[in-house]
Structure 1
Amino acid sequence: MLLERIYDNDLAQASYVIGCQATGEGVVVDARRDIGVYHDIAQANGLRIVAVAETHVHADYLSGTRELAAATGAGMYVSGEGGPDWLYAFEAEQLQDGQHIQVGNIVLTAVHTPGHTPEHLSFLVADGAFADEAGYLLSGDFVFCGDLGRPDLLDEAAGGSDTRFEGARQMYASLRDRFLTLPDHVQVFPAHGAGSACGKALGALPSTTVGYERRHAWWGPYLAAADEQGFIDELLEGQPDAPAYFGRMKRQNLAGPAIIGARGPLPRVGQGDLAAALAAGEATFVDTRDQGQVHAGTVDGALNLPADKGLATYGAWAIDPERSTSAVVLLADGPEAAQQMWDHLIRVGIDDVAGYTTTIEGLPQHKPQLVAPGDVAAFEKALLLDVRATGEHEAGNVPGSEQLHGGRVLWNLDRLPGEGTIVTYCQSGVRSSVVASTLRHEGYEVVELEGSYSAWAAEHAG
């Protein structure tokens, strides 16, 4: 049996290719939309992808299930659990608890594990050529290394009301009745790692075991003592802020993400054509450099989405494809880099990328304004905006600031002043630059706190 993990550091997301080498058949679980990696793995291992499955309706990225199935002819398998509100709208095999996916000698058994979401499935994997019993669990967003999937996303991002309490109760029952009934030796492969907003303290390890989590995970003592309320309180305490785009991901994944099909190489856009498109509002320029370079000068109205710091994540903060009317043009070193950036953007549904340019020369430019930490208190402003998470703000902040998570700003413009200057900051300046550029693109006057909170705190230490 082949089991290969494909990890996206940008979104802290894992998908899996499982193959039966005896029959040359494979299944992909929790695929992303840029599907070339799965073709490459299949070709390298002599596999034909015959099935594509997903553990649940994802919130943090757009599923590649339909994309991969359309390209390979594979059958699609999704959850049929969770009630009518959680049934997928596109045609696929809807799995109930205990049903199987057979791929050569390999059997994936659906296990309904609600808690993170009502319809959530995990997959027990048995290698029939080696043993009859399952030795592996693809746990999706149910059990992570050292943590659990958060049960509050339906409240945070999908318009639910107090669903987190029922979700937490379901998580407790899923652990008690499903996970802890498995043998200790079963290896657990989750769908996310450290940095994901789908939990609050995910470990960075790629896998764990049932036995290790039973003995060492924070939730173990609560289950051992049958302390359901203590478990619920701890699980719900301190969950990170969810970006607003999670709601769009839920809606699109339930409906079925659009199939892109084969994508040709991105064209290089001439500076004259690009300048005209920017002037006409027909293009959105994305400056992919770090904030230090951007602060030295960037294109008027550009979005700063650093290519090496989470392009998909920050892209989804700054661009709402459901209301945007202009195509993206990327600043890239060349066609290969541009194509890789496009791969990241389509993972969150930002498909309309018109091309790239290698320079900002010849385009209208400005230099973003900064305010020094020592001057920010006296600086004339309408709002001092902390774009970090709630927990970061509560741990320490610049006096007089208001907190609004950077991934929610574009969807909460009514909370911002209609006139005057907004001063933004985060921890180090990366998120602040993303949000500041987003607000400038929307027509706001924005100044950034130089060095952000780290610089301010260092200046005011002691």
Structure 2
Amino acid sequence: MLLERLYDHDLAQASYFVGCQARGEAIVVDPRRDIGDYLDLARDHGMRIVAVTETHIHADYLSGTRELAAATGATVYVSGEGGHDWQYGFAAERLRDGDTVTLGNITVQARHTPGHTPEHLSFLVTDGAFSADPGYVITGDFVFAGDLGRPDLLDEAAGGSGTRFEGARQLFTSLRDVFLTLPDHVQVLPGHGAGSACGKALGALPGTTVGYERLNAWWSGYLREDDMAGFVEELLDGQPDAHAYFARMKRQNREGPRVLGTLSSPPPVSNAEVARSLEADSVVFVDTRSHTDVHRGTVTGALNVPGPAKAATFGAWALDPESETRPLVLLTPDGDTARRVRDHLLRVGVDGVIGYTTSRAGLPESVPPRLTPEELDASEGVYLLDVRNRGEYADGHVPGAHQLSAGRVLWNLDALPEGAPIVSYCQSGARSSVASSALRRAGYDVVELDRGYGEWARWADGRRSEV
């Protein structure tokens, strides 16, 4: 058996390639939308991808299930569980609890593990050439290394009301009736790692075992004591902010993401053409450099989406393709970087990249306004906006600041004042730069606190020591 984990560090998301080498057939679980890595892996091992599936209707990235099936002719399998309200809206084979997909010596069995979402499946993987019993469980957003999938996203991102409590109770039942019935040696292959907003304390390890989680996970004591109420209370306490784009991902993944087909690399665009398009306001210019570079000068009106490493995350905060339909031109150092940024943006459904340029020569420029902690202290009538997460804000913030995380700002403009200048900050400046560039494009007067809360805290400590 071949089992490969393909990990996207941008979104902290894992997909799995499981193949029978004797038969030359493979199944991919939870693929992302830029599918080149899966095709390369199949080719390198002389395998055909004959099946594609996913654990649930994802909220944090746009699924590549239909894209990969269209490219390979693979059969699509999705969950048929969860009731009428949680059925997929596109043609596919439906899997219910206990159903199996067989590839030569390998059996992949679906188990219904609701809680994170009502339709959620986990997949038990058995290598029949080695054992008659499963050795692996692909858990999606059910069980992570050291944590569990959050049950509140239907409330936070899908328009639900009070579903978090039922979801938490379902997670308890799924742990008791499915996960903890597995032998200790079964390897757990989760759908996310540290950095994902799909849980509150995800470990950085790529996997774990049923036995290790049974002994050490924070939730294990509640299961031993059969304390569902205590489990629900702790699980729901302190969950991180859910990014606003999650709602769009839920809708699009349920309906079936648009199939892109074969894509060529973004072409270079002359700056003369870019200048004409900017003058006509017919494109969105995206500066993919770091916030420190952007703070020295950028194209007037540009969005800052640092990339490619975190372009999906930042791009989903700054661009809403449902309201922003103009195509995107990227500022990148070269064509390969432009392609990589484009691929990251595809993962969150931002499909509008039409080309790139490698310089700002001849384009209108400006320097994003910033102020120092001393200047902020002397300012009056400004609206302080903390774009960090709720937990960071609770641990300490500039007095008088209002918290609205960077991933929610663009979708909550009604929470911001009309007319008053806004001073935005995060911990060091990157998130604030992304959010501030999006707010400026939306017409707001935004100044960034130079080097963020960390610099302000050092200044405040120094001032206190002088007293």
Interval of TM-score (by shorter of Structure 1 and Structure 2):
over 0.9
Q: Which whole-Å CA distance do the structure 1 matches of 2:367 and 2:244 have between them?
A: 29
Q: Which residue of 1 aligns with 2:237?
A: 237
1:88 maps to 2:88: yes
Q: Structure 1 stretch 117-126 or stretch 271-280: which is displaced more?
A: 271-280
Determine if contact 1:317/1:410 at 8 Å carries over to the other structure: yes
User: Which residue matches 1:40?
Assistant: 40
CA distances 1:227-260 after superposition (whole Å, capped 9, x unpaired): 1111001100000000000000000000000000
> Aligned with 1:407: secondary structure?
coil
Deviates more, 1:15-24 or 1:368-377: 368-377
Q: CA deviation at 1:308?
A: 4.8
Give the Cα–Cα distance (whole angstroms) in 1 for the partners of residues 309 and 128 of structure 2.
Answer: 42
How much does 1:377 deviate?
A: 2.7
- Residues 268-300 of structure 1 show CA distances to partners (whole Å, capped at 9, x for unaligned) of 010011011112121111111111110100001
The question of whether the paired residues in 2 share the 8 Å contact of 1:86 and 1:119 is answered with yes
Q: Which amino acid aligns with 1:439?
A: L
Question: Is 1:401 aligned to residue 390 of structure 2?
Answer: no
Aligned to 1:24: 24
Counterpart of 1:312 in structure 2 is 312
Alpha-carbon distance in 1 for matches of 2:208, 2:321: 37
Which residue of structure 1 aligns with residue 221 of structure 2?
A: 221
**Conservation of the 8 A alpha-carbon contact between 1:381 and 1:422:** no
Alignment-mate amino acid for residue 263 of structure 1: L
CA distance in 1, matches of 2:35, 2:217: 34
Query: Which residue does the alignment assign to 1:388?
Result: 388
Do the aligned residues in 2 keep the contact of 1:388 with 1:404 (CA within 8 Å)?
yes
Contact 2:151 2:168 in 1 (8 A): yes
Root-mean-square deviation (Å): 0.8
2:266 maps to 266
SS in structure 2 of the partner of residue 247 of structure 1 = helix
SS of residue paired to 2:76: strand
Between the aligned partners of 1:404 and 1:34, the Cα distance in structure 2 is 31
| Cα deviation code 1:114-164 (max 9, x no counterpart) | 010000000000011111110000000000000000000001111000100
CA deviations 1:80-125 (Å, max 9, x no partner) are 0001111000000110000001111111000000010000000000
Aligned to 1:254: 254
* Paired residue secondary structure (1:243): coil
- Cα distance in structure 1, aligned partners of 2:290 and 2:159: 34
Local SS of the residue matching 1:460: helix
1:106 maps to which residue? 106
Contact 1:380-1:421 within 8 A present in 2 as well: no
Structure 1 residues 169-188: aligned runs within 5 Å: 169-188=169-188
Matches within 5 A, 1:51-62: 51-62=51-62
Contact kept? 2:425, 2:449, Cα under 8 Å: yes
Alpha carbons 1:52, 1:77 under 8 Å: kept: yes
1:49 aligns with 2:49: yes
Amino acid at match of 1:388: R
> What is aligned with 1:447?
447
1:68 and 1:376 map into 2 onto residues whose CA distance is 51
CA contact (8 A) 1:147 1:199 kept: yes
Give the residue type in structure 1 aligned to 2:375: D
Partners of 1:352 and 1:450 lie apart in 2 by 31
CA contact (8 A) 2:9 2:309 kept: no
Q: What do residues 360-397 of structure 1 show as CA deviations (whole Å, max 9, x unaligned)?
A: 11100100111101221322444110001111111100
SS in 1 for 2:437: helix
- What is the aligned partner in structure 2 of residue 344 from structure 1? 344
Higher mean C-alpha displacement, 242-251 vs 380-389: 380-389
The answer for the alignment partner of 2:13 in structure 1 is 13
Q: 1: distance between equivalents of 2:325 and 2:378?
A: 39
Letter in 1 for 2:349: G
Q: Structure 2 stretches of 5 or more lacking a match?
A: none
In structure 2, how many angstroms separate the alpha carbons of the residues matched to 1:308 and 1:248? 22
- Pair 1:429 & 2:429 matched: yes
TM-score normalised by length of structure 1:
0.99
Task: Report the identity percentage.
Answer: 63
Alignment-mate amino acid for residue 194 of structure 2: A
Count residues in correspondence. Answer: 462
Deviation (angstroms), 1:325:
2.1
Residues in 2 aligned to 1:182 and 1:359: alpha-carbon distance in whole angstroms: 56
What is the TM-score when the length of structure 2 is the normalising length?
0.98
Contact 1:381–1:423, Cα closer than 8 Å, also in 2: no
Q: What SS does structure 1 have at the residue aligned with 2:81?
A: coil
Alignment of 1:324-343 (within 5 A): 324-343=324-343
Provide the residue aligned with 2:77 in structure 1.
Answer: 77
Q: Distance in 2 between matches of 1:267 and 1:227?
A: 58
Instruction: Give me the whole-angstrom Cα distance separating, in 2, the residues matched to 1:331 and 1:105.
Output: 49
Tell me, what secondary structure is at the counterpart of 2:137? strand
Aligned to 2:63: 63
1:363 aligns with 2:336: no
Contact 2:308 2:337 in 1 (8 A): no
Q: Distance in 2 between matches of 1:440 and 1:188?
A: 45
Q: CA deviation at 1:420?
A: 2.5
**Partner letter of residue 253 of structure 2?**
N
Alignment-mate amino acid for residue 386 of structure 1: D
Question: C-alpha distance in 1, partners of 2:68/2:389?
Answer: 35
Describe the SS at the equivalent of 2:377.
coil
C-alpha distance in 2 between matches for 1:49 and 1:162: 40
8 A Cα contact 1:382 1:417, kept in partner: no
Structure-2 separation of matches of 1:9 and 1:386: 25
Distance 2:270 2:121 in 1: 48
**3-state DSSP class of the match of 1:180?**
helix
SS at match of 2:143: coil
Shift of 1:309: 5.0
Q: Shift in Å at residue 264 of structure 1?
A: 1.2
Matched residue type, 1:24: G
Cα contact 2:308–2:341 (8 A) shared by 1:
no
CA shift for structure 1 position 331: 1.0
Deviates more, 1:373-382 or 1:175-184: 373-382
Cα distance in structure 1, aligned partners of 2:296 and 2:313 = 24
Alignment partners' CA distance in 2, 1:149 and 1:374? 42
